Amino acid sequence: MDDPGALLRQAVQLHQQGRLDTAATLYRRVLEAAPRQFDALHLLGVIERQRGNPARGAELIGAALQVDPDQARAHCNLGAALQDLDRPVEALASYDAALRLDPRYALAWNNRGNALRRLGRHGEALDSYERALGIQDAYPEAWCQRAMLLNDLGRHEEAAASAERALALRRGYADALLALGNALQGMDLPADAVAAYDAALAAAPRQADAWCARGAALKKSGDLAAALDSYDRALALRPDYALAAHYRANALRALGRIEDARAAYRQALALGADANDIAFALAALGEGALPEAAPPDYVRALFDGYAGHFERHLVEQLGYRTPALLEALLARHGVAPGAGDAWHVADLGCGTGLCAPFLRPLAARLTGVDLSQKMLDRAARLASYDALACAEIGAWLAGQEDGCDLLVAADVLVYIGALDTLFARAHAALKAGGRFAFSCEALEAADAADAAQGYAIQVSNRFAHAPAYVERCAARAGFAVVEARQAVLRREHGEDVQGWVVLLAR
Q: Give the span between the Cα atoms of 168 and 118, in whole angstroms.
A: 26
Biggest distance spanned by C-alpha atoms of the chain: 100
Cβ atoms of 356 and 379 within 8 Å: the answer is yes
Answer yes or no: is 322 within a domain: yes
Q: Which amino acid is at 116?
A: L
Domain CATH for 493: 3.40.50.150
- Please give the mean pLDDT across all residues of the chain: 92
Distance of CA 483 to the CA centre of its chain: 38
Report the pLDDT value the prediction gives residue 1, as an integer from 0 to 100: 52
pLDDT, tens digit, 9 for 90 and up, residues 223-256: 999 999 999 999 999 999 999 999 999 999 999 9
Report the pLDDT value the prediction gives residue 401, as an integer from 0 to 100: 80
Closest CA to 348 of 484, 261, 440, 485: 440
pLDDT, tens digit, 9 for 90 and up, residues 438-491: 999 998 754 544 456 899 988 888 999 999 999 999 999 999 999 999 999 887
Cβ atoms of 160 and 193 within 8 Å: the answer is no
Answer yes or no: is 50 within a domain: no
Across the strands, what pairs with 503? 437, 483
CA angle 400, 411, 481 (to 5 degrees): 65
Report the pLDDT value the prediction gives residue 341, as an integer from 0 to 100: 65
Report the pLDDT value the prediction gives residue 116, as an integer from 0 to 100: 98
As for how many domains the chain has, the answer is 1
Cβ atoms of 419 and 465 within 8 Å: the answer is yes
Cβ atoms within 10 A of the Cβ of 465, count?
Answer: 27
Report the pLDDT value the prediction gives residue 11, as an integer from 0 to 100: 87
Angle between helices 224-237 and 208-221 (to 10 degrees): 170
Answer yes or no: is 348 within a domain: yes
Helix, strand or coil, per DSSP, at residue 65: helix
| Beta carbons within 8 Å of 308's beta carbon, 6+ residues apart | 154, 156, 186, 187, 188, 374
Across the strands, what pairs with 160? none
Answer yes or no: is 68 within a domain: no
Per-residue pLDDT of the chain (506 residues; tens, 9 = 90+): 568 888 899 989 999 999 999 999 999 999 998 999 999 999 999 999 999 999 999 999 999 999 999 999 999 999 999 999 999 999 999 999 999 999 999 999 999 999 999 999 999 999 999 999 999 999 999 999 999 999 998 899 999 999 999 999 999 999 999 999 999 998 889 999 999 999 999 999 999 999 999 999 999 888 999 999 999 999 999 999 999 999 999 999 999 999 999 999 999 999 999 999 999 999 989 888 888 998 888 888 888 776 555 555 455 445 578 999 999 999 999 988 876 567 999 999 999 999 999 999 999 999 999 999 989 998 999 999 999 999 999 999 999 987 899 999 999 999 999 999 999 999 999 999 999 999 999 987 545 444 568 999 888 889 999 999 999 999 999 999 999 999 998 877 678 889 999 999 99
Closest CA to 388 of 347, 357, 447: 347
Answer yes or no: is 374 within a domain: yes
Report the pLDDT value the prediction gives residue 197, as an integer from 0 to 100: 98
325 to each of 58, 268, 411, how far by Cα in Å? 62, 39, 11
Answer yes or no: is 84 within a domain: no
Termini Cα distance of the chain: 95
User: Can you give the residue range of the structural domain that contains 447?
Assistant: 301-505
Report the pLDDT value the prediction gives residue 449, as an integer from 0 to 100: 43
pLDDT, tens digit, 9 for 90 and up, residues 19-37: 999 999 999 999 998 999 9
Report the pLDDT value the prediction gives residue 450, as an integer from 0 to 100: 46
Phi, psi of 280 (to 5 degrees): -65, -45
For every residue of 134-166, DSSP letters joined together read HH-SS-HHHHHHHHHHHHHTT-HHHHHHHHHHH
Cβ atoms of 61 and 74 within 8 Å: the answer is yes
Report the pLDDT value the prediction gives residue 304, as an integer from 0 to 100: 79
Cβ atoms within 10 A of the Cβ of 190, count?
Answer: 21
Answer yes or no: is 350 within a domain: yes
Answer yes or no: is 485 within a domain: yes
Angle between helices 106-118 and 140-152 (to 10 degrees): 20
* Length of the chain measured in residues: 506
